[in-house]
Amino acid sequence: MKDQPSYPKGPITQIYGQAFTLRGDDIDTDRIIPARFLKCISFTSLGDKVFADDRSEMNGHHPFDLNINKGASILVVNDNFGCGSSREHAPQALMRWGIRALIGQSFAEIFYGNCLSLGIPCATASAKTINAIQNHIENDNRHYWTLKIKKKKIFSNDQAWEVDIQQGPLEMLATGKWDAISQLMSNEEDLLKVKNKLPYLNQFKKF
Amino acid sequence: MWDLHRIAELPGGSTQLFVGLHLIHEVTSPQAFFALKEKGLRVRCPEQTVATVDHIVPTTSQDRPFADPLAEEMLCTLEENCEIHNIKFYGLKSGNQGIVHVIAPELGLTQPGMTVVCGDSHTSTHGAFGAIAFGIGTSQVRDVLASQSLTMNKLKVRRIWVNNTLKKGVYAKDLILHIIHTLGVKAGVGYAYEFAGPAIASLSMEERMTICNMAIEAGARCGYINPDEVTFKYLENRLHAPKERNWTQAISWWKTISSDEKAIFDDEVDFDASKIPPTVTWGITPGQGIGIDEKLPDPESLSPSEKTIAQEAYNYMGLTPGGTILDLPIDVCFIGSCTNGRLNDLKIAASIAKGRHVAKGIKAFVVPGSENVAKAAEDEGLVEIFKNAGFEWRKPGCSMCLAMNPDRLEGRQISASSSNRNFKGRQGSATGRTLLMSPAMVTAAAITGRVTDVRTLQ
């Protein structure tokens, strides 16, 4: 898709790209991807559908439709982004449109986890910092930005802001272990220990 | 309970948690099964996995194939995946199909002390039984299928203590809408919400499920209520509940898992149930609710972050600050969903509908939460009451809660809805408007054609 044909893979240490803003608190996953587009058995065609209803309402003026944002990969949002439904279709749609990192005041928990399991960092910062970053982008969004994961900083061409990335997700991204499946499958012995001691799987015997 | 399910501590501080019950449905599982196939993996514990179909099913005729080929394809894919992986599937006309958060409790699958996950945010419902229950995304559905476990960070706990009891005409739905309005839609991020106190203790299991169901609308991934005699009585003799000697042993274990009186919480908030009026949302988030007698808020009086979304809500809803929600004309009435599609919800609605009739020009329909709820409603004569009162009686499914099936709003229609989300476009029309309220209030609105204080009809 656009300038970023490949989806996140391996260790993610930085995201480099054009940034744009989508202002507003409490932007829910029904808005990110309306439910009718969930009628599918694969995620592949979701990229064009991201924010479908908001975009048609704004008739070409939605940030995801503006020419200047084409090819951008960093999205800066406000508070409680991604609230509501657990649909992974929401981050999938954003990713397939081209988004590779989000920065915002806060993210809903399930959405945050879904992004992480796709290798998309959600960095947070105070309302004041977010507003400053958003103003900076909106004043001149031709520049490229870099989100450095370990440094927990986002750099514009002439300035830098500190952001927060929780330690667990940070390590998972930086080491390439954000796709949890192989790690989860490597603890079979410990899993059996737990399974064999759970009362409700063992006739409620006392251990 | 957390420790009992902990398999390992992972780098970065998250926990690998064992999953006791994995519920799956047609919308968020196909991509997960596809990923297993790609990686050549099998389902680790099919016996801890249970499937049903709910989101996409039509509620008029459920004959196969469905008129919508996409919906048909999703159901076929689920059937196929369950067969390949030997997963118990409660399909249409099995007698046990229904909304996943309605059937798991009613079949006794959900039990105290379990970890319960499902690719659906309203999995918080199951916390009403004293389970750790939360919604997950499709990548995590894949993880759980493959490893019967997932990575999770331990949540903080906010205890919500509710004193006294609800007044007549005020229901669990009003209580939770009031709580979400008071605490806000993002206050719960990072928390589990534990509900307790005299008002909660006096609620039935069905009412407790309504409360925990909407914890997610307050931002909290889990709702939780300590198990007690009400819980045990509800579970006794259910299909998958422990039987005979196991039942006695189960109860003695369940009694040990309550958070004790001296437990220290990360935060505590108190409410007084007796002061809560019937509550209705007027805006585009579940937190934008008001008491039925209150005036719509002046955006200028709200905090900066609430102000912007309030203005957006006024624009979208076509309402004016200072006005009332009472007497607002409505177009469609929907009774159902994982919040309020259980037998007790239908009993209350029927008690108000009895001997009355839906107002002219109003489309009103009742969608039972499961095939078992439908059967019980028929046996108890509720279906006849609804039909005589001019309500359409439908087949079980999620229906117009999120409109993934043919049930939807048209254009700018306003619905009075017993569901859980009033987001823009939620009920299938990009400009459709949703007012969330209790099933009793939805019934009252259907009778008068306007938002009505149900207490005036009781």
Distance CA B189, CA A82 (A): 12
Taking a C-beta distance cutoff of 8 angstroms, is the pair A84, A78 a contact?
Answer: no
The total number of structural domains that make up chain B: 3
Mean pLDDT of A61-74: 96
The pLDDT mean for chain B works out to 97
Taking only the tens place, the pLDDT of each residue in A21-55 is 999 999 999 999 999 999 999 999 999 999 999 99
Mean pLDDT of B198-203: 98
Please give the Cα distance from B121 to B219 (Å, whole number): 10
Residue A117 domain flag: yes
Contact: B28, A34; criterion CB under 8 Å? no
pLDDT at A179 over 90: no
β partners of residue B90: B52
CB contacts of B119 in chain A (<8 Å) are: 86, 88
Whether residue B440 is found in the same domain as residue B327: yes
Give the structural domain span for B449.
279-456
What mean pLDDT do residues B326-345 have? 98
* Residue A207 forms part of a structural domain: no
Select from B418, B364, B421, B419 the least CA-distant residue to B388. B364
Question: Taking 60 as the threshold, does the pLDDT of residue A3 lie above it?
Answer: no
| For residue A1, pLDDT beyond 50 | no
Q: Please count the residue pairs, one from chain A and one from chain B, whose beta carbons lie less than 8 angstroms apart.
A: 214
- The answer to whether residue A60 is domain-embedded is yes
State how far the Cα of B314 lies from the Cα of B310, in Å rounded to an integer: 6
Share of chain A above pLDDT 90, in %: 89
The neighbour count for residue B231, using CB atoms within 10 Å, is 20
Domain shared by B219 and B342, yes or no: no
**How many separate domains does chain A show?**
1
* Set of chain A residues whose Cβ sits within 8 Å of the Cβ of B34: 41-42
Same domain, B132 and B227: no
Stretch B318-323: mean pLDDT: 97
Question: Where does the pLDDT of residue B368 fall: very low under 50, low under 70, confident under 90, or very high at 90 and above?
Answer: very high
ipTM tops the 0.90 cut: yes
Contact present, B194 and B1 (Cβ < 8 Å): no
- Residue B153 DSSP SS3: coil
Question: Do B62 and B199 reside in the same domain of the chain?
Answer: no
Cα A105 from chain centroid? Answer: 13
The amino acid present at B29, given as its one-letter code, is S
The reply to whether B23 and B135 lie within a common domain is yes
Identify the three-state secondary structure at position B337. Answer: helix
Q: Do residues B357 and B234 both lie within one domain?
A: no
Q: How far apart are the first and last CA of chain B?
A: 43
Count CB-CB contacts under 10 A for residue B220.
31
Instruction: Give residue A162's domain range.
Output: 14-177
Picking from A107, A127, A190, the nearest residue to B7 by CB comes out as: A190
- Chain B CB contacts of A36 below 8 Å: 403-404, 428
- Residue B181's H or E segment, with its range, is helix B172-183
* Average pLDDT of span B108-114: 98
Pair of tokens at residue B12: 């970065």
Kindly tell me if the per-residue pLDDT of A206 is higher than 90. no
Confidence of residue A180 (pLDDT cuts 50, 70, 90): confident
B71, closest residue in chain A (CA to CA): A39
A188 in a domain, yes or no? no
Q: Domain containing B411 — which CATH number?
A: 3.30.499.10
Q: Nearest to residue A101, comparing CAs of A43, A17, A24, A2? A: A17
Residue A203 lies in a domain: no
Looking at the fold, whether B191 and B99 belong to one and the same domain comes out as no
Of B99, B124, B152, the position where a domain reaches its end is B152
- What is the domain-level CATH number for residue A78? 3.20.19.10
Residues with Cβ within 8 Å of residue A123, at least 6 apart in sequence: A101, A102, A103, A104, A147, A152, A154, A163, A164, A165
Mutate to test the interface with A, among B16, B110, B144 (most CBs of A within 10 A): B16
B330-335: average pLDDT: 98
Domain-embedded: residue A130: yes
Owner of token pair 């709910």: B54
Minimal Cβ distance to B111: which of A24, A91, A200: A200
Of the residues B225, B244, B275, the one at which a domain ends: B275
Point out the residue among B55, B121, B252 whose CB comes nearest to the CB of A86. Answer: B121
For residue A31, the distance in angstroms to the closest alpha carbon of chain B comes to 7
**Cα separations in angstroms, B116 against A192, A204, B284, B340:** 18, 18, 29, 20
B113 and B262 share one domain = no
Q: pLDDT tens digits for B265-312?
A: 999 999 999 999 999 999 999 999 999 999 999 999 998 889 999 999
Quote the CA–CA distance of A75 and A101 in Å, as a whole number.
6
Chain A residues in contact with B73 (beta carbon < 8 A): 41
- Most A CBs within 10 Å: which of B118, B144, B412, B423, as the mutation test of the A interface? B423
Partner residue opposite A41 with nearest CB, options B77, B137, B140: B77
Contact A118 B55 (CB under 8 A): no
Residue A7 lies inside a defined structural domain of this protein: no
> Is A187 within a domain?
no
Q: Look at the block and give the residue holding tokens 């949890």.
A: A180
